[in-house]
């Protein structure tokens, strides 16, 4: 009963950003489930589609730098405005019939996503500081579950013959219904956990950004290469190989919910150390696996560990900055962290090309150990 009461309290405190997290998850989950149809509609090869996604990522990073200004200008309606922009922008990829139009459409969609991503993480961090409660894992878990549910629903819509435009229109309708729940006045009061000195703040941002970068790199690289590892290295069928990414999505959602309650009793930097060690162990097991069951077990352990790294880093940085500088700090660590999405898959590919796919998983494990052995202890000293 106490568990449920705490969960209900945390959900009530972060209702507005939690709704926005779920909305973002719905769009990217729908997009993931629609990728085959979207590629076919624009007649793009894997390479062309990859370039389009690179363009969209650049748009997201650019929008992140502007997000604090958008937040300051729109105030209590910032999440609503960005969510509405996101909903309208995502209608465009479903209507695209060429690679150029699709690239521009995804640039707009990712820009909306990048803006709201910074704002919602900033809002959750502010609520945490004001209420002395850890809420970041809960909100990121809602994203994960919304992402998974939307991906499944998009697949069902595809099976029923509906177009991507229809699926994104449904997501837009859901967004419009939920807009009133995203009205939220940002905190302006000063909290008591301010880090003094420009050097300390710079170091804090660099450490938090590095942790998020490695976390995103590990997530993205493993999601992109887990199925290939299972199929090429362990003889899995296409359906069995697809279980790799599915296991990651599910365990990351479960891990973030668990982290929500663990973080209420354990300092973030301690959780970061332990979670990074667990994630490194899991991906090393998956890389060394000689059977599907061991591979699945490794990805399960990895998903549980890696799930809390980014939310905990956001939380740790947010609690150690003032309300006046929090948006800027969250923006900077988000931009640093997003580099992981660029670096992860290519890094895995280069290492795999030179030393084999298993070696690439061990390389990711080594990076995760850097969080546990170096970055988290240094952040604790801040």
Q: Which CATH number fits domain 191-382: 3.50.4.10, 1.10.10.10, 1.20.210.10, 1.20.1250.20?
A: 1.20.1250.20
- Which residue has better confidence, 323 or 29? 29
Given this model, what pLDDT does residue 2 score? 66
Q: What percent of the chain has pLDDT over 90?
A: 34
Any idea where the domains of the chain sit in the sequence? 1-189, 191-382
Given this model, what pLDDT does residue 200 score? 47
pLDDT > 90? residue 69:
no
- Asked whether the domain spanning 191-382 has the same topology as the one spanning 1-189, the reply is yes
- The torsion angles phi and psi of 88, rounded to 5 degrees, stand at -70, -40
Mean pLDDT on 130-158: 84
Q: pLDDT tens for residues 156-212? A: 888 888 999 999 999 999 999 999 999 988 765 444 444 444 544 788 889 999 999
Mean pLDDT on 115-134: 87
pTM to 2 decimals?
0.79
Mean pLDDT in the chain?
84
Reduced 3-state DSSP string for 137-174: HHHHHHHHHHHHHHHHHHHHHHHCCCCHHHHHHHHHHH
Q: For the stretch 39-49, what's the b/e string if a residue is b when 16 or more beta carbons lie within 10 angstroms of its beta carbon?
A: bebbebeeeeb
Q: pLDDT tens for residues 269-281? A: 899 999 999 999 9
| Lowest mean pLDDT, pick from 18-22, 210-214, 256-260, 353-357 | 353-357
Given this model, what pLDDT does residue 72 score? 85
The CA R_g of the chain, rounded to the nearest whole Å, is: 20
Structure tokens at 190: 């000063």
Q: pLDDT tens for residues 220-260? A: 777 656 766 787 778 877 667 667 767 887 888 899 888 87
pLDDT > 50? residue 261:
yes
- What whole-number distance in Å separates Cα of residue 41 and Cα of residue 13? 42
Mean pLDDT on 107-113: 91
Nearest to 209 by CA among 348, 64, 323: 64
* DSSP-derived secondary structure for 284-309: HHHHH-SSHHHHHHHHHHHHHHHTTH
Taking CA atoms, 71 is separated from 75, 85, 116, 148, 182, in Å, by: 6, 14, 9, 28, 13
- Which residue has better confidence, 155 or 191? 155
Mean pLDDT on 95-114: 90
Specify the fold of 1-189: Growth Hormone; Chain: A; (1.20.1250)
């Amino acid at each position: 009963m106490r568990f449920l009461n705490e969960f209900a309290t945390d959900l009530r405190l972060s209702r507005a950003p939690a709704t926005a997290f779920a909305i973002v998850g719905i769009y990217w989950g729908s997009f993931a489930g629609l990728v085959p149809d979207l590629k076919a509609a624009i007649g793009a090869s894997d390479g062309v589609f990859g370039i389009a996604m690179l363009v969209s990522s650049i748009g997201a990073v650019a929008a992140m730098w502007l997000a604090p200004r958008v937040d300051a200008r729109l105030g209590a309606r910032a999440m609503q405005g960005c969510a509405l922009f996101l909903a309208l922008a995502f209608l465009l990829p479903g209507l695209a019939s060429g690679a150029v139009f699709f690239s521009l459409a995804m640039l707009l969609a990712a820009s909306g996503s990048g803006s709201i991503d910074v704002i919602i993480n900033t809002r959750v961090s502010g609520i945490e500081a004001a209420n002395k409660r850890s809420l970041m894992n809960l909100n990121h878990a809602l994203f994960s579950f919304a992402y998974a549910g939307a991906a499944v629903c998009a697949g069902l819509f595809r099976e029923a013959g509906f177009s991507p435009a229809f699926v994104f229109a449904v997501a837009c309708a859901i967004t419009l219904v939920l807009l009133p729940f995203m009205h939220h006045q940002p905190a302006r009061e000063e909290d008591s956990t301010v880090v003094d000195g420009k050097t300390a703040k710079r170091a804090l941002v660099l450490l938090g950004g590095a942790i998020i970068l490695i976390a995103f790199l590990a997530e993205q690289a493993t999601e992109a290469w887990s199925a290939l590892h299972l199929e090429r290295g362990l003889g899995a069928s296409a359906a069995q190989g697809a279980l790799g990414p599915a296991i990651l999505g599910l365990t990351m959602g479960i891990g973030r919910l668990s982290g929500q309650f663990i973080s209420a009793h354990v300092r973030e930097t301690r959780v970061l150390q332990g979670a990074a060690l667990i994630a490194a162990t899991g991906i090393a097991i998956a890389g060394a696996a000689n059977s599907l069951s061991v591979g699945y077990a490794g990805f399960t352990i990895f998903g549980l560990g890696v799930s809390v790294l980014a939310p905990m880093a956001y939380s740790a940085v947010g609690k150690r900055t003032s309300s006046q500088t929090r948006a800027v700090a969250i923006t900077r660590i988000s931009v640093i962290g997003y580099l992981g999405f660029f670096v992860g898959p290519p890094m895995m590919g280069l290492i795999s090309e030179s030393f084999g796919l298993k070696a690439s998983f061990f390389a990711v494990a080594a990076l995760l150990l850097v969080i546990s052995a170096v970055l988290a202890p240094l952040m604790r000293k801040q």
